[in-house]
Structure 1
Amino acid sequence: MTRPPTAAQRRVIDAADPVTGRLKGTEAQLAALVKRGLAFRHPRPPHDHFLTPAGHRIREAPEPEPESGPGTEPVAEASVTAGSGVFAARIGGEEAADGGPSRIREVHNAWQGLLEMRRMTNPDGATDRPCGWERTHLVQAAALALEAAGHPPAGASAGGAGYRVRATPQPEAVAVREPDPGALRACAATLEKAGWQVGEHTEPRTGARYVLASPRRV
Structure 2
Amino acid sequence: MTRPPTAAQRHVIDAADPVTGRLRGTEAQLAALVKRGLAFRHPRPPHDHFLTPAGHRLRETPAQAPVPEPVQEAPPDSGVFAARIGGEEGPVAGPARIREVHSAWQGLLELRRMTNPGGDVDRPCGWERAHLVRAAALALEADGHPPAPGTDLAGYRVRATPQPEAVAVHEPDPEALRGCAATLEKAGWQAGEHTEPRTGVRYVLASPRRA
Letter in 2 for 1:19: V
Deviations 1:63-105 (A, max 9, x none): 238xxxxxxxxxxxxxxxx753311010001113251101100
Distance 1:141 1:10 in 2: 25
Contact preservation (8 Å) 2:82, 2:134: yes
Give the superposed CA RMSD.
1.3
Which range moved further: 129-138 or 97-106? 97-106
Check if 1:102 corresponds to 2:64.
no
Q: How does 1:196-211 map to 2 (within 5 A)?
A: 196-211=189-204
Q: Which runs of 5+ in 1 are unaligned?
A: 66-81
Quickly say closer, same or farther: Cα 1:98–1:201, change in 2 above 3 A.
closer
Check if 1:30 corresponds to 2:33.
no
Aligned residue pair count? 201
Deviations 1:144-171 (A, max 9, x none): 000000000012125x110000001111
The Cα of 1:131 is off from its aligned counterpart by 0.5
Check if 1:170 corresponds to 2:184.
no
Distance 1:64 1:3 in 2: 10
Distance 1:62 1:199 in 2: 37
Distance 2:172 2:181 in 1: 13
The Cα of 1:28 is off from its aligned counterpart by 0.8
Check if 1:135 corresponds to 2:133.
no
Letter in 2 for 1:175: A
TM-score w.r.t. structure 1 length?
A: 0.89
The structure with the larger Rg is 1
TM-score w.r.t. structure 2 length?
A: 0.92
In structure 2, what is the equivalent of residue 5 of structure 1? 5
Letter in 2 for 1:132: G
Superposed structure 1 runs of 4+ greater than 2 Å apart: 82-85
Contact preservation (8 Å) 2:92, 2:147: no
Match of 2:119 among 104, 122, 125: 125
Distance 1:59 1:22 in 2: 12
The Cα of 1:123 is off from its aligned counterpart by 1.8
3-state SS, counterpart of residue 213 of structure 1: strand
In structure 2, what is the equivalent of residue 40 of structure 1? 40
Distance 1:145 1:157 in 2: 22
Q: Could you tell me the percent identity over the aligned residues?
A: 84
